[in-house]
């Protein structure tokens, strides 16, 4: 029996995860007691991850920011004194105005990534403020830049195969993705397909949980997916496995692709990738012979110098082999292309052409950029924990002449360096409208509790700052209701979507919940065709599209350090809740060669920096590969540095994306 003061309220998980679970939140005496999954989003199927089940610890934990505060001690120490909201916003408005007047708008840098934010809490009133200040603009390249460019270059943002439809597939290829941690609802669907006789192939340098259940596991050296995919393409063309009829009807650039794949024999790809030629051939045959066949392409293959071309080559496979046109056939990357809604269009006038800053280069910019950044406004991001070249970012944050504002829910590693800290609400305390990037669903969330402490939502704070600076215009949408209405009005189906959001509480794009590629929709490119060698991508890639760039390893730093996601954090979110030391994992042979055993304290170093931590031996990594997970915080290692201190700020071949997995390191006993 529940007491009368207990309520069960609906919500939607907006975290940076493909699944967008529909939730049911138990609230007792105004406090969140329990969070569970529901069936409203069919993909959720009534269960959610342990991270969000434990969300009350994030809401009410010691690290939760409760009031605005101003730095008292040295930068980085996390010593603050409380301010009122009025005091904090007056101070901030004054600083913003002052910096703009003295150094120009571009001396202000807004830094947000917003993976965990929906249509209401990023690119709305915040965009309005920063545009009107003439601030520097941020290219959000830390994730999905190269994959995004590849998919839109080839297919024009065509949505992928619905994850629910994988039950119909006879072959599932999971390439550079680890859904067991990063999108858990796909796992039971894959297992169900396997029980029905489907084959599973995993391409990943690690033996992931799904790799252990796979019929075939290909473990390439990080950054060598491009040669593997090109060898598959070459084999398909040579052995009659290419669907030339489909290519003639639906694609351009097939001949050029065939030519670029020509040098990549199975043997040569095997030598470069460290996979057996016979295994690549087994995948080629399986792929050619299976119908329907689907590729779940993730982001692991993206985060290196070849990331754009590798993704393009992987996504070319279903076109070459003619795998479209059936339910359960084709590819899935991100389904966000299914939605045409655009928050930024609500922000008012067009962006002024101010300086565009690549997020991966923020460390460099803070140290030596011209014009110098004088005011850094961090929200919806934890850059010290998530950007490459962590030591440069840290040194930048230590600059005495930089005023840093951090608007967050908890005292992050970045917030410790702030001059001004502002407490933000979570999705259980504000309104949100969120589409999935795995599921096709769009769902709303309304507050289920009053804000904890004095936390406030993004849309409110940026709206308030606009008013204080005299940058607001009458009649602009500003409240969540107004923003939602204006956003839905962008679609011809706006009224229908509004009604569906009210009941049953979920809506889908025009293409529906489970559209079939090349049946229900076609590439939204100018000619409606697939472009296997888009000229603009070919011009952009430094050596042309599909040109392989060699491994950046050196004799001094021969090991490839990858930093994949774990099931403990979402990017760096929830890192405050995990206080244990996190070890670097290595293959026993690599450890043995260095005289290392599990539990030893080691120094892991690259050209960029060093991490001191423990080591753990693991048979799940291929030789030559070490792993330190993404998203850990300074308290998780002996010297406060993480994988990001080892990661270079070099860029992917397309779209200036992050190359975290191009970190090349050596490990030695401390
Ligand atoms: N629990 C949890 N869920 C998350 C996240 C999280 O941090 N935690 N993050 C969210 C976000 S922001 C994103 S972008 C997605 C990412 O989702 P995924 O792409 O599934 O996650 P990653 O762990 O980045 O990478 C997937 C796999 O790529 C492998 N890999 C590394 N280098 C290579 C390579 O060169 N080639 C190949 N083939 N594989 C490689 C890694 O070993 C890893 O198993 O997940 C989202 N979901
Ligand atoms: N080494 C390594 N680093 C990586 C990666 C990797 O593979 N390896 N992957 C990268 C990837 S895939 C991604 S997506 C990036 C993510 O990089 P970030 O976006 O910097 O990481 P998050 O941990 O998601 O940070 C979100 C922050 O915003 C706060 N927040 C959430 N909602 C709100 C809100 O409504 N208002 C405000 N004001 N704050 C809010 C959260 O508390 C959290 O601190 O990290 C990248 N970093
Ligand atoms: S993080 Fe992903 S799996 Fe966990 S509740 Fe949110 S949407 Fe669901
Ligand atoms: Mo990401």
Tell me the CATH number at 186.
Answer: 3.40.228.10
Residue 255 confidence (pLDDT) above 70: yes
Rounded mean pLDDT, 254-261? 98
CB 158 less than 6 A from any atom of ligand 3: no
Residue 401 confidence (pLDDT) above 70: yes
Q: What is the CATH number of the domain that holds 127?
A: 3.40.50.740
Using most ligand atoms within 8 A of CB, pick from 11, 13, 443, 506 the residue to mutate for ligand 3: 13
- Nearest-atom number in ligand 3 for the CA of 19 is 7
Q: Please indicate, yes or no, if residue 375 is contained in any of the structural domains.
A: yes
CB 661 less than 6 A from any atom of ligand 1: yes
Q: Which helix (H) or strand (E) holds 616?
A: strand 610-617
Handedness of CA 10, 14, 15, 17 (dihedral sign): positive
Using most ligand atoms within 8 A of CB, pick from 16, 19, 58, 118 the residue to mutate for ligand 3: 19
Q: Tell me which ligand sits closest to the C-alpha of residue 307.
A: 1
CB 462 less than 6 A from any atom of ligand 2: no
Q: Are residues 458 and 472 in the same domain?
A: yes
CB 115 less than 6 A from any atom of ligand 1: yes
User: What is the CB neighbour count within 10 angstroms for residue 398?
Assistant: 14
Q: Are residues 395 and 302 in the same domain?
A: no
Q: Tell me which ligand sits closest to the C-alpha of residue 24.
A: 3
Q: Are residues 417 and 460 in the same domain?
A: yes
Q: Are residues 232 and 297 in the same domain?
A: yes
Domain that holds residue 460: 69-143+339-507
Most distant CA pair in the chain, distance:
72
Alpha carbon of 331 to ligand 3 centroid (Å): 22
pLDDT tens profile 463-487: 999 999 999 999 999 999 999 999 9
pLDDT tens profile 293-336: 999 999 999 999 999 999 999 999 999 999 999 999 999 999 88
Q: Please indicate, yes or no, if residue 252 is contained in any of the structural domains.
A: yes
Q: Tell me which ligand sits closest to the C-alpha of residue 621.
A: 1
Q: Please indicate, yes or no, if residue 51 is contained in any of the structural domains.
A: no
Q: What is the CATH number of the domain that holds 569?
A: 2.40.40.20
CA 263 to chain centre: 33
Residue 225 confidence (pLDDT) above 60: yes
With bands split at pLDDT 50, 70 and 90, how would you rate the model's confidence at 1? very low
With bands split at pLDDT 50, 70 and 90, how would you rate the model's confidence at 338? confident
- Which residue's CA is the nearest one to ligand 1's atom 5? 570
Q: Which helix (H) or strand (E) holds 669?
A: strand 663-669
Q: Please indicate, yes or no, if residue 316 is contained in any of the structural domains.
A: yes
pLDDT tens profile 134-192: 999 999 999 999 999 999 999 998 999 999 999 999 999 999 999 999 999 999 999 99
Domain count for the chain, please give it.
3
Neighbours of ion ligand 4 (CB under 5 A): 143
Q: Are residues 224 and 317 in the same domain?
A: yes
pLDDT tens profile 598-607: 999 999 999 9
Closest CA to 7 of 20, 21, 26, 24: 26
In the three-class reduction of DSSP (H, G, I as helix; E, B as strand; rest coil), residue 235 is classed as helix
Q: Are residues 376 and 443 in the same domain?
A: yes
CB 570 less than 6 A from any atom of ligand 3: yes
Q: Please indicate, yes or no, if residue 54 is contained in any of the structural domains.
A: no
CB 52 less than 6 A from any atom of ligand 3: yes
pLDDT tens profile 54-85: 999 999 999 999 999 999 999 999 999 999 99
Q: Are residues 240 and 304 in the same domain?
A: yes
Q: Are residues 427 and 398 in the same domain?
A: yes
CA distance 228 to 264: 8
Write out the DSSP string of 149-178. Answer: HHHHHHHSS-----GGGGGG-SEEEEES--
Q: Are residues 528 and 483 in the same domain?
A: no
CB within 8 A of 89, min separation 6: which ones? 68, 461, 464, 465, 468
Q: Please indicate, yes or no, if residue 129 is contained in any of the structural domains.
A: yes
Q: Are residues 271 and 367 in the same domain?
A: no
Q: Are residues 409 and 529 in the same domain?
A: no
Q: Are residues 491 and 375 in the same domain?
A: yes
Q: Please indicate, yes or no, if residue 33 is contained in any of the structural domains.
A: no
Q: Please indicate, yes or no, if residue 63 is contained in any of the structural domains.
A: no
């Amino acid at each position: 029996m529940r007491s009368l003061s207990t309520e069960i309220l609906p919500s939607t998980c907006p975290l940076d995860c493909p699944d967008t679970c529909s939730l049911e939140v138990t609230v007792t005496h105004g406090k969140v007691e329990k969070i569970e999954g529901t069936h409203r989003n069919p993909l959720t199927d009534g269960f959610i991850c342990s991270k969000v089940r434990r969300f009350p610890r994030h809401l009410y934990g010691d690290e939760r920011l409760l009031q605005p505060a101003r730095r008292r001690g040295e930068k980085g120490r996390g010593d603050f004194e409380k301010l009122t909201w009025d005091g904090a916003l007056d101070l901030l408005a004054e600083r913003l105005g002052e910096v703009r007047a003295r150094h120009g708008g571009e001396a202000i840098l807004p830094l947000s990534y917003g993976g965990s934010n929906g249509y209401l809490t990023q690119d709305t009133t915040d965009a309005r403020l920063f545009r009107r200040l003439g601030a520097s603009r941020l290219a959000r390249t830390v994730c999905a830049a190269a994959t995004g460019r590849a998919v839109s270059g080839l297919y024009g943002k065509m949505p992928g195969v619905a994850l629910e439809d994988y039950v119909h597939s006879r072959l599932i290829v999971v390439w550079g993705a680890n859904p067991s941690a990063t999108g858990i609802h796909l796992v039971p669907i894959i297992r169900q397909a396997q029980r029905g006789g489907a084959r599973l192939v995993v391409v990943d340098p690690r033996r992931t949980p799904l790799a252990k259940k796979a019929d075939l596991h290909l473990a390439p050296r990080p950054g060598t997916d491009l040669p593997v995919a090109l060898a598959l393409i070459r084999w398909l063309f040579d052995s009659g496995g290419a669907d030339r009829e489909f290519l003639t009807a639906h694609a351009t650039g097939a001949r050029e692709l065939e030519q670029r794949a020509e040098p990549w024999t199975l043997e040569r790809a095997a030598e470069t990738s460290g996979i057996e030629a016979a295994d690549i051939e087994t995948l080629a045959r399986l792929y050619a012979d299976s119908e329907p066949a689907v590729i779940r392409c993730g982001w692991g293959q993206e985060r290196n110098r070849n990331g754009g071309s590798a993704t393009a080559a992987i996504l070319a496979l279903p076109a070459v082999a003619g795998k479209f046109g059936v339910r359960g056939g084709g590819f899935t990357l991100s389904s966000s292309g299914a939605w045409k809604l655009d928050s930024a269009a609500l922000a008012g006038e067009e962006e002024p052409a101010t300086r565009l800053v690549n997020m991966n280069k923020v460390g460099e910019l803070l140290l030596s950029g011209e014009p110098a950044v004088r005011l850094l406004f961090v929200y919806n991001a934890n850059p010290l924990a998530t950007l490459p070249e962590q030591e440069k970012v840290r040194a930048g944050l230590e600059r005495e002449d930089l005023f840093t504002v951090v608007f967050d829910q908890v005292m992050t590693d970045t917030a410790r360096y702030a001059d001004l800290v502002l407490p933000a609400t979570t999705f259980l305390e504000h309104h949100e409208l969120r589409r999935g990037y795995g599921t096709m669903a769009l769902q709303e969330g309304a507050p289920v509790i009053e804000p904890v402490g004095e936390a406030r939502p993004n849309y409110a704070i940026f709206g308030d700052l606009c008013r204080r600076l005299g940058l607001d215009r009458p009649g602009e949408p500003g409240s969540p209701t107004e923003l939602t209405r204006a956003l839905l009005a962008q679609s011809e189906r706006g009224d229908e979507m509004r009604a569906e959001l009210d009941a049953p509480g979920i809506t889908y794009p025009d293409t529906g919940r489970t559209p079939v590629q090349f049946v229900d929709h076609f590439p939204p490119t100018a000619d409606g065709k697939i472009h296997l060698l888009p000229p603009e991508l070919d011009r952009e890639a430094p050596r042309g599209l599909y040109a392989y760039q060699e491994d950046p390893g050196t004799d001094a730093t021969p090991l490839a350090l990858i930093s994949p996601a774990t099931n403990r954090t979402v990017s760096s979110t929830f890192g405050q809740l995990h206080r244990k030391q996190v070890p670097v994992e290595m293959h026993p042979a690599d450890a043995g060669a260095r005289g290392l055993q599990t539990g030893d304290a080691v120094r892991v170093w690259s050209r960029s920096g060093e991490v001191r931590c423990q080591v753990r031996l693991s048979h799940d990594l291929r030789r030559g590969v070490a792993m330190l997970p993404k998203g850990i915080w300074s308290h998780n290692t002996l010297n406060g540095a993480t994988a990001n201190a080892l990661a270079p700020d070099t860029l992917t071949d397309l779209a200036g994306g992050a190359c975290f997995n191009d970190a090349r390191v050596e490990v030695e006993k401390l």
